[in-house]
A and B are shown apart, each in its own frame.
Chain A
Amino acid sequence: MPRFSAWLRDGVGFDILLVGAALLFLVALAGAPLVYNVLMSFQQVDMFTLGSLIRPFVGFDNYVAVVRQPEFWLVTRNTLIFVFGSMSGQFVLGFALALFFAQNFPGASTIRGLFLVSWVMPGLVVGGIWSLILAGDYGVLNVILRSLGIIQSNIFWKSDPSFSIWAVIIANIWLGLAFNMLLLSVGLAAIPKDLYEAAELDGANAFQRFWTITLPMMRPTIGAVLSLGLIGTLQQFDLFPALTEGGPANTSNVAGFWSWQLSFQLYDFAKGATVSVMMFLLVLFASVIYVRSTRHEVRG
């Protein structure tokens, strides 16, 4: 026993205890549910069998049923539009702002920090505010766009089927832009300044310096930011109930929200689980990129 307590106090036992407690918790509350999710997607689950672990297995029936849902392809398409629209908006605007705030001027880091308030706000509140701004007939965005001459007549962002997904994308870009900018700023700050001076002496112009120094040096950061953007976008949920509830007619519905609707509004837990397993495969892809890019960063 004293040997055990010494092992715990001084040896590997201490480390194992610290990691073990956290991992055990995570396995119980994130790992096990994940496995359970996959299991459920192959079972027949309804309100009567909700309380039991052993349920009739139905093979790939749930998957077939989900793909046959009339809204399946629409939701898939929306998910892709949502992911690429949000990511490119957040990344391009975030990169531009990061480059701007990398200039040396008084207050640069303080003002840059203020941008992050969008990131710490509850998603539901962000959705509520944008719901007001994007309103069709009295929304302030339409007024601004009209006075700038960009649009001629009001756009009904939330209720027009061809714009509803963009309403959520706009709100999501606002929400995630600042975090993108911050991570990219960190990457920019890590580039040695003398590289730029040397390139300037050699006669490289600003664009050449960006192309040959900034971009290659930022590659690990960009990889991490893009994959985090993909992950964060797939995790986005709160904006949907606040803005469009997936409507009208599912034109702004994405996999994450659809899965929740199937489970908690239609009580079809098996289909909800099935959709989320499909979505998880997409996340898996993103996280492999993310882990690889952070590994380069840490070890590099």
Chain B
Amino acid sequence: MTRTYTPWFLLAIALGLAAIYLFPLYWMYITSIKSGSEIFANPPTFWPTNPNPAVFADVWARRAMPTYLWNSVVIAGGVTALTVVLGTGCAYVLARYRNGWIDAGLFCILMLQVLPASVMITPIFVGFNQVGLLNYPRTAVILAAAAKAMPFFVVLVRATFMSVPRELEEAALVDGNSRIGAFFSIVLPLARNGILVCAILTFMSAFGEYIYSKSIIQSPALQPASVGLSGFLGPNSTDWNAIMAYSAIYVTPILAAFVILQRRIVAGLTSGALK
């Protein structure tokens, strides 16, 4: 008899937990349309008395958001392209064999995955300075951030490749296909969805990239949205409706993409860890 109502009871708890967990997001959107005095009101209002969405247009124009967002897209796109092109083949080979060399390669990649960006940024900055890459700051950031993103991509895509049956590839080889032919016509199409999900994840995280851009890019015209946001953020910031409007404009595309693709992204992440 408990079986009939328990699931709905659990669903209600789950929705409650999700509401609590996602409250910060709600607060971001709500604060962005509050008036200045309402933000500092005590007790705070959980629904704005006087919603005013004009701040969005204002922040968009005054904070030069089109430039910042475009730079974010350029950097994230570059990082994703570089990561996918170089990482996919690497993941495939690491998934296909099982010997000492592969273990060593995998170990290296896992080691590089764990390096904090703050460990890497000083030597990268000094090194880029020596080879003159700092004159092309966005390219420099793309290179540095791709090196940061690639290990995670390789580990996830490797799991995707491991779920592609070897027999299909071997059959293609028996049928006279070359390794390259089998890779492009059999293996890649079968792993396409997994690769796509990982590419989207790479794009999302590169879209929020901050430390390399902040340290390497000096010119505001080339900085991404994260650096633009940091310009008016800090322990003593008070311009909250503008900050939250900026944040909302910045993250809404990512959130929308995530919610639409949620099922696939979660499936990609979970199957990646399961295999």
Residues of A at under 8 Å CB distance from B? 9-11, 14-15, 17-19, 21-23, 25-26, 29-34, 36-37, 40, 45, 50-53, 97, 100-101, 103-118, 120-133, 137-138, 140, 143, 158-159, 174, 177-178, 182-183, 185-186, 189-190, 231, 234-235, 237-238, 241-245, 247-248, 255-257, 259-260, 263-264, 269, 272-273, 276-277, 279-280, 283-284, 286-287, 290-291, 294-295
Known: A133-B24, A182-B266. A45 touches B112 (CB 8 A): no
**A residues near B154, Cβ cutoff 8 Å:** 22
Is B124's CB under 8 angstroms from A33's CB? yes
Known: A25-B147, A30-B147, A259-B122. A104 touches B7 (CB 8 A): yes
Is A14's CB under 8 angstroms from B180's CB? yes
**B residues near A243, Cβ cutoff 8 Å:** 235
Is B150's CB under 8 angstroms from A26's CB? yes
Is A276's CB under 8 angstroms from B150's CB? no
Task: Specify which of B114, B127, B229, B251 lies most central, judged by the most chain A CB atoms within 10 Å of its CB.
Answer: B114
Q: 18 interchain pairs (CB within 8 A)? A: A10-B180, A18-B90, A19-B90, A21-B86, A26-B108, A26-B147, A107-B14, A114-B259, A122-B208, A122-B251, A124-B233, A125-B208, A140-B44, A231-B113, A235-B116, A237-B118, A248-B235, A287-B111
Binds A, one of B49-57, B59-67, B189-197, B237-245: B237-245
Known: A14-B179, A127-B233, A259-B118. A186 touches B270 (CB 8 A): yes
Known: A22-B150, A122-B208. A34 touches B22 (CB 8 A): no
Is B114's CB under 8 angstroms from A143's CB? no
Known: A129-B27, A186-B273. A29 touches B144 (CB 8 A): yes
Is B39's CB under 8 angstroms from A190's CB? no
**A residues near B129, Cβ cutoff 8 Å:** 50-51
Q: Is residue B97 contacting chain A, with contact meaning CB distance below 8 A?
A: yes
Task: Kindly identify which residue among B86, B103, B211, B273 contacts A22, using a CB–CB cutoff of 8 Å.
Answer: B86
Task: Kindly identify which residue among B87, B114, B205, B269 contacts A283, using a CB–CB cutoff of 8 Å.
Answer: B114
Task: Kindly identify which residue among B14, B126, B229, B250 contacts A50, using a CB–CB cutoff of 8 Å.
Answer: B126
Is B13's CB under 8 angstroms from A120's CB? no
Chain B residues 141-184 with CB under 8 Å of chain A are 143-144, 146-148, 150-151, 154, 178-180, 183
Is B7's CB under 8 angstroms from A185's CB? no
Residue of B nearest to A96 (CB): B17
**B residues near A269, Cβ cutoff 8 Å:** 122, 126
How long is the Cα–Cα vector from A95 to B266 in the complex, in angstroms? 17
Task: Kindly identify which residue among A11, A106, A234, A276 contacts B179, using a CB–CB cutoff of 8 Å.
Answer: A11
Is B258's CB under 8 angstroms from A247's CB? no
**B residues near A53, Cβ cutoff 8 Å:** 130
**A residues near B185, Cβ cutoff 8 Å:** none
Residue of B nearest to A294 (CB): B110
Known: A22-B154, A29-B147, A36-B126. A259 touches B119 (CB 8 A): yes
**A residues near B251, Cβ cutoff 8 Å:** 121-122, 125
Q: How far is the CB of B234 from chain A (nearest CB, A)?
A: 6
**B residues near A114, Cβ cutoff 8 Å:** 18, 22, 259, 262
Task: Kindly identify which residue among B28, B180, B233 contacts A9, using a CB–CB cutoff of 8 Å.
Answer: B180
Residue of A nearest to B112 (CB): A30
- Which secondary structure dominates chain A's binding surface? helix
Known: A23-B90, A125-B28, A247-B235. 13 other contacts (CB 8 A): A14-B180, A26-B147, A33-B127, A105-B7, A111-B11, A115-B18, A121-B254, A124-B230, A128-B247, A129-B27, A243-B235, A257-B118, A260-B118
Is A10's CB under 8 angstroms from B178's CB? yes
Residue of A nearest to B211 (CB): A237
Is B262's CB under 8 angstroms from A116's CB? yes
Task: Kindly identify which residue among B10, B121, B237, B243 contacts A263, using a CB–CB cutoff of 8 Å.
Answer: B121
**A residues near B113, Cβ cutoff 8 Å:** 231, 287
Task: Kindly identify which residue among B11, B183, B233, B258 contacts A106, using a CB–CB cutoff of 8 Å.
Answer: B11
Chain B residues 80-124 with CB under 8 Å of chain A are 82, 86-87, 89-90, 92-94, 96-97, 103, 105-124
Is A117's CB under 8 angstroms from B259's CB? yes
How long is the Cα–Cα vector from A51 to B40 in the complex, in angstroms? 49
Q: How far is the CB of B141 from chain A (nearest CB, A)?
A: 12
Is A124's CB under 8 angstroms from B226's CB? yes
Q: Is residue B31 contacting chain A, with contact meaning CB distance below 8 A?
A: yes
Q: How far is the CB of A101 from chain B (nearest CB, A)?
A: 7
Q: Is residue B221 contacting chain A, with contact meaning CB distance below 8 A?
A: no
Is B244's CB under 8 angstroms from A231's CB? no
How long is the Cα–Cα vector from A186 to B271 in the complex, in angstroms? 8
Task: Kindly identify which residue among B109, B119, B235 contacts A26, using a CB–CB cutoff of 8 Å.
Answer: B109
Is B269's CB under 8 angstroms from A182's CB? yes
Q: How far is the CB of B170 from chain A (nearest CB, A)?
A: 13
How long is the Cα–Cα vector from A183 to B130 in the complex, in angstroms? 41
